[in-house]
Amino acid sequence: MTTNSTAINDLYADVVADLIPFYDNMVLLPNQALILNSYNISGTAGDTVKIPTHDAYTAGATVAEGNQIITGASESDFSTTAASISVVKRGAGSFVTEESLEDGGIATVRTAVTTQLSRAIAQSTDIAGFRVALTNAETALTDISDVTVTTVGPAAGALTGADVAVVMSPEAMGYAMKREPTLKMFNDVDRDRHDMVATVRNGFVQVRPGFINGVVSSNVVAEATAAIRCNLDDISQAVTNLRTANAPTDASGFYVACVTPAQEYHLASQLNNVNVSGGNIGDLSMIGNGALLDGLIGQAVGCRFFRSNNLPTGLATA
C-alpha cells in the first residue's frame, strides 16, 4: 500500500518531471552552444552514431579557358571517413526511507533526491566529455602527456601539477543520447524504504581533433609564478591555432574556452592586477570580472569562457 500511496506517487512524479530539466541545466557539454553535432537517438535501434567527415579542402587552381577543371592539380579529394559515437550508461542511486518521507516532507525530499541524482549523472557526463575532447577516450588522465590534442602553455618541467583547459570549435565534437535522463523506483519492503536509480545513456567523440586545443597551466590557485599561470596569451594562442586550422566558430564568431576554477582565478588576476603573494584583490567586482571576461576580453581573444569543475586537474607532469 505504501508504494501506491498518494505521497509516493507525488514524489515519483515530481522527481521524474524535474530530472530532465535539472539535468539539462547542470550539464555543460551536451548543448548545441558548445557541440553543434548533437543527436538524440532514443527510440531507434543500435547504440552507435557515425558522423561522416571529409578531408580538409584544398585551394582551387587557375584554369585556362576551355581546359579541363577536374584534372591534375585542380582535382580535389572529397573522400569521407566516419567518427563513431558509442553510447554508454551512466547512473546514480539513492535510498529514501519511509521515515525520511514522514519526517522530512515530500517537497524537501523531492528536492534532495532530484539534486543528488541529476548532479551525479550530469557530472559523470561532463567528466567523460572533457576526457574525450582531450584524448578521444573516456579513460581518466593521469599525466599531461595523456593529452593527444595540440596543447599550449608552459613546459611540463616547470609545473608540479597541471590543469588542462579546453579551447575548441563548436563543430569539434559529437554527442549522442540514446536514453533521456530516467528515474526508476521500487519499494524495498524488507528495509521499509524506496530505492531510486537515475540513468542516462550518452557518449562523445572527437569529430575534428584539429579543432581542439588544450591549455596547460599550474593547478595552484594562488600560483605566484606568472610564467606557469593560465594567461590570456595562452588562450589567444589556442584560438590562433584553431583559426589556422580553419575551425568554424559559432554564429557570433566565437570559439569555446572551458577553464578550471584555478585557471579562472589566474585570468581574473590579470584583469584585476592581483598581488597573489599579498592576497590583494583589485577594484573589479565578481560581476565586473565576468562581464569583462565574457565581453571585452572574450571578443579580444575570440572565445566565450565557461568554468567547469569537471576538467582534468592536478595532473602529473613527468
CB 314 within 8 A of CB 261: no
What are the tens digits of pLDDT across the range 171-200?
Answer: 999 999 999 999 998 888 899 998 999 999
Please state the domain count of the chain: 1
Cell numbers at 264, concatenated: 579562472
Q: Which domain holds residue 235?
A: 6-50+84-307
Percentage of the chain lying above the pLDDT 70 cut: 83
Question: Is residue 150 a part of any domain in this protein?
Answer: yes
Residue 98: which CATH number?
3.30.2400.20
111 pLDDT band (50/70/90 cuts)? Answer: confident
Judged on CB neighbours under 10 Å (0-12, 13-18, 19+), 218 is buried
Asked if residue 45 belongs to a domain, the reply is: yes
Considering only 5-19, 73-87, 137-151, 260-274, which range has the smallest mean pLDDT?
Answer: 73-87
Write the DSSP assignment of 162-214 as a string of letters: EEEEEEE-TTSEEEEEEEEEEEEEEEETTTTEEEEEEEEEEEEEES-GGGEEE
User: Is 273 part of a structural domain of the chain?
Assistant: yes
Higher pLDDT, 124 or 5: 124
Identify whether 313 is part of a domain. no
Q: Look at residue 68 and tell me if it is in a domain.
A: no
What percent of the chain has pLDDT above 90? 44
**Is 55 inside a domain boundary?**
no
Q: What is the mean pLDDT of residues 36-60?
A: 80
Give 308 or 106, the one with higher predicted confidence. 308
pLDDT at res. 316: 92
Confidence class for position 1, pLDDT limits 50, 70, 90:
very low
Residue 65 lies in a domain: no
pLDDT at 249 over 90: yes
- Indicate whether 296 pLDDT > 60: no
Average pLDDT rounded to a whole number, residues 239-262: 93
Average pLDDT over residues 46-56: 77
pLDDT at 206: 95
CA 123 centroid distance within chain: 10
Mean pLDDT within 147-155: 93
* Greater model confidence, 138 or 284: 138
Poorest-pLDDT segment among 54-58, 132-136, 159-163, 184-188: 54-58
**Residue 4 has what pLDDT?**
53
- Asked if residue 64 belongs to a domain, the reply is no
Q: Which of 259, 260, 279 is nearest to 269 (CA)?
A: 279
List pLDDT tens digits, range 54-87.
766 666 777 788 877 776 555 556 667 788 899 9
198 forms bridges with which residues in the sheet?
92, 183
Q: Which residues contact 63 (CB under 8 A, 6 or more apart)?
A: 69, 74
The span from the CA of 213 to the CA of 166, in Å, is 6
Q: Cβ contacts of residue 102 below 8 Å, gap of 6+? A: none
Q: Could you tell me if 185 and 194 are in contact, meaning their C-beta atoms sit under 8 angstroms apart? A: yes
pLDDT score, position 272 = 66
> Which of 202, 41, 206, 38 shows the shortest CA–CA distance to 124?
202
